[in-house]
Amino acid sequence: MTEPTIINLPKILDRRGNLSFFEYPGQLPFEIARTYWIYDVPGGEIRGSHAFKEQQEFIIALSGSFDVVLHDGKKGERFSLNRSYHGLYIPRMYWRSMENFSTNSLALIISDKQYDENDYIRNFEEFKKQKNNV
């Protein structure tokens, strides 16, 4: 998978409530190395303006809503996440920002790599240079 993709997750519905899940290789295109979550984001804040050289991610709005804005070096695309059974797959080398967090939103982020600051590109011009040279 080389394009950003919304992946629909299974939904098991019964009168006790709903259950969704993901696993590798069933729903996820990569093996999980790390999970983190972002919460209590003050209104108007923007998170995660960076790209990853190698890391792939999968993002779910477990609660509430927010937008993930992706840029491929040439154009941007906005994905509004507001369902706990929709996940956004993000390949390596996409600039990504997260914004418009609703009150009490909870962003779950799954990664195929352990945390490594050296994998981040935090400068947009540097990102475009590297991306467009590929």
- Count of Cβ atoms closer than 10 Å to residue 59 Cβ: 23
Q: Which is nearer to ligand TYD, 2 or 114 (CB)?
A: 114
- Cis peptide, bond prior to residue 25, ω within 30 of zero: yes
Task: Write each residue from 10 to 29 as x if it is in contact with ligand TYD (CB under 6 A), else as -, in one continuous string.
Answer: --------------------
The rounded distance, in Å, linking the Cα atoms of 93 and 84 is: 25
- Choices 17-25, 34-42, 68-76, 81-89 (CB under 6 A): range interacting with ligand TYD: 34-42
41 near ligand TYD, judged by CB under 6 A: no
The one catalytic residue in 34, 47, 50, 92 is 50
What minimum distance in Å lies between the beta carbon of 11 and ligand TYD? 28
48 near ligand TYD, judged by CB under 6 A: yes
73 near ligand TYD, judged by CB under 6 A: no
Tokens found for residue 59: 């993002």
Instruction: Report the residue from 47, 53, 113, 131 that binds ligand TYD according to the rule CB under 6 A.
Output: 47
DSSP per-residue string spanning 61-85: EEES-EEEEEE-SS-EEEEEE--TT
Is 71 tagged catalytic?
Answer: no
Residues contacting ligand TYD: total by CB under 6 A: 6
119 three-class SS: helix
For strands 66-71 and 95-99, give the pairing.
antiparallel
62 near ligand TYD, judged by CB under 6 A: no
53 near ligand TYD, judged by CB under 6 A: no
Question: Percent helix, strand and coil across the chain, each rounded to 5?
Answer: 10, 45, 45
